[in-house]
């Protein structure tokens, strides 16, 4: 039997218990889950019992002393840096949830610790794993859209005030809908179009909810990519779940690829393209025959969190660097900082300036 990498989980809350651990247990064949840790020991105990994990504990030190090679960090973002550094110092490879950290300086500390320990780091950009999003990237890379003109990514949910919720405590979350959900969208557009965001502007507001501290529930961002294309990234905590579209749309000189519901925790969604082989002549009537070139894509959904565990485990086993790297995470923090600065100062801000 081939070797399995042993994993531990730090933070057994919402995403870990709802998606990552269940998909780990159901789908992953190259790794095994041997320990779970949560500040709340009872929580760790329940998750261990539910998913048949042999060991549970309430401290990083106890988890990191276990016989395991990799950890999944799924705690609030204000402790990602500290826990990454601790895990690296213990010689563990790290899969860390988004947002990677709060500041660029934190990312630098994480990078230094991983480099010194010679361990791998992967950022949990799970939306890249949706099979339809992968197909969209494949089409873009094959040149199907011609010159890229615009990409739009939307992720929204209904998120009312909840006492004690860390996302609503700005001292822990450091941002609202844009940081929590927009980071997925920003990364996805860059990855799909194989480019990076160089300039941003936009609005972030608190329109609806009475949160305990001030975080935005409404974020509408404009971006310019290095390849010249524009981006629209819209994230709201105040639109009913059933009404949202979670739209992902790319437009280019040869057509468009349109998806609904492929940004989200479910591995499902719908996608179609309207593509033409050549750029066409001018038609003053602007006739829109949307059926002639329409193609629908039907692919079997595969759990995106389970795929992430498999992918990172393969990187460890084959000693290769995951694409979702610390450099990618540092850039993400710079984009977030530029967006909040742009919103605050009501202007266009260069990323990393």
Ligand X SMILES: NC(=O)c1ccc[n+]([C@@H]2O[C@H](COP(=O)([O-])OP(=O)(O)OC[C@H]3O[C@@H](n4cnc5c(N)ncnc54)[C@H](O)[C@@H]3O)[C@@H](O)[C@H]2O)c1
Rounded Cα gap, residues 308 and 323, in angstroms: 11
271 token code pair: 């996608």
Our finding on whether 47 is near ligand X (CB under 6 A) is no
Question: In 3D, which of 335, 332, 324, 325 has the Cα closest to residue 114?
Answer: 325
User: Which residue in the set 22, 76, 146, 352 belongs to the binding site for ligand X (CB under 6 A)?
Assistant: 76
Q: Are residues 152 and 248 in contact, defined by beta-carbon separation less than 8 angstroms?
A: yes
Going across the sheet that includes 197-205, the strands are: 294-297, 270-275, 255-260, 247-252, 148-154, 230-236, 218-225, 197-205, 349-350
Rounded Cα gap, residues 56 and 63, in angstroms: 8
Our finding on whether 100 is near ligand X (CB under 6 A) is no
Between CA 306 and CA 314, with CA 309 as vertex, the angle to 5 degrees is 125
102 vs 239, beta carbon nearer ligand X: 102
- Site string (177-206) toward ligand X, x via CB under 6 A: ---x--------------------------
How many other C-beta atoms lie within 10 A of the C-beta of residue 211? 21
User: Which residue in the set 7, 8, 77, 156 belongs to the binding site for ligand X (CB under 6 A)?
Assistant: 77
Q: Which stretch binds ligand X (CB under 6 A): 69-77, 201-209, 220-228, 242-250?
A: 69-77
The least CB distance from residue 297 to ligand X, in Å, is 22
The least CB distance from residue 155 to ligand X, in Å, is 10
Number of shown-chain residues binding ligand X (CB under 6 A): 23
Our finding on whether 13 is near ligand X (CB under 6 A) is yes
110 token code pair: 């994480």
Q: Which stretch binds ligand X (CB under 6 A): 10-18, 27-35, 186-194, 236-244?
A: 10-18
How many other C-beta atoms lie within 10 A of the C-beta of residue 345? 10
- Site string (244-273) toward ligand X, x via CB under 6 A: ---------------------x--------
Rounded Cα gap, residues 192 and 10, in angstroms: 30
Residue ranges in 124-143 that form contacts with ligand X under rule CB under 6 A: 124, 126
Residue 268, SS3? coil
Our finding on whether 33 is near ligand X (CB under 6 A) is no
User: Which residue in the set 4, 22, 39, 108 belongs to the binding site for ligand X (CB under 6 A)?
Assistant: 39
Our finding on whether 14 is near ligand X (CB under 6 A) is yes
The least CB distance from residue 197 to ligand X, in Å, is 20
Place of tokens 């709201």: 236
199 vs 217, beta carbon nearer ligand X: 217
User: Which residue in the set 5, 9, 10, 274 belongs to the binding site for ligand X (CB under 6 A)?
Assistant: 10
User: Which residue in the set 9, 36, 43, 101 belongs to the binding site for ligand X (CB under 6 A)?
Assistant: 43
Rounded Cα gap, residues 12 and 211, in angstroms: 25
Place of tokens 């998909």: 23
Residue 161 phi, psi (nearest 5): -60, 135
Residue 46, SS3? helix
Our finding on whether 111 is near ligand X (CB under 6 A) is no
Residues within the interface to ligand X (CB under 6 A): 10-16, 38-40, 43, 74-77, 79, 97-98, 124, 126, 166, 180, 265
């Amino acid at each position: 039997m081939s070797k399995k990498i042993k994993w531990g989980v730090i933070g057994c809350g919402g995403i870990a218990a709802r998606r990552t651990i269940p998909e780990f247990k159901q789908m992953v064949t190259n790794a095994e889950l041997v320990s779970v840790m949560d500040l709340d020991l009872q929580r760790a105990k329940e998750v261990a019992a539910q998913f048949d994990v042999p060991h549970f504990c309430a401290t990083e030190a106890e988890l990191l002393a276990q016989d395991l090679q990799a950890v999944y960090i799924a705690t609030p973002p204000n402790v990602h840096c500290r826990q990454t550094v601790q895990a690296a110092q213990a010689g563990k490879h790290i899969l860390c949830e988004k947002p990677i950290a709060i500041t660029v300086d934190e990312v630098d500390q994480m990078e230094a610790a991983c480099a010194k320990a010679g361990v791998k780091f992967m950022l949990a950009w799970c939306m890249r794993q949706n099979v339809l999003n992968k197909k969209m990237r494949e089409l873009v890379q094959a040149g199907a859209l011609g010159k890229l003109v615009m990409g739009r990514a939307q992720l929204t949910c209904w998120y009312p005030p909840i006492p004690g919720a860390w996302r609503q405590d700005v001292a822990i979350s450091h941002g609202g809908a844009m940081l929590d959900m927009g980071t997925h969208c920003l990364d996805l557009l860059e990855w799909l179009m194989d480019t990076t965001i160089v300039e941003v502007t936009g609005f972030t507001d608190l329109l609806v909810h009475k949160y305990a501290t001030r975080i935005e529930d409404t974020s509408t961002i404009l971006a310019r990519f290095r390849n010249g294309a524009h981006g629209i990234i819209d994230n709201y905590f105040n639109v009913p779940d059933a009404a949202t579209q979670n739209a992902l749309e790319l437009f280019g000189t040869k057509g468009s690829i349109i998806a609904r519901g492929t940004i989200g925790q479910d591995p499902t969604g719908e996608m179609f393209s309207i593509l033409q082989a050549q750029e066409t002549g001018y038609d003053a009537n602007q006739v829109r025959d949307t059926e002639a070139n329409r193609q629908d894509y039907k692919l079997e959904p595969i759990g995106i969190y389970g795929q992430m565990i498999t992918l990172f485990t393969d990187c460890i086993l084959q000693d290769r660097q995951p694409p979702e790297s610390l450099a990618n995470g540092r850039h993400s923090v710079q984009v977030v900082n530029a967006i909040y600065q742009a919103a605050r100062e009501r202007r266009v801000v260069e990323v990393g300036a």
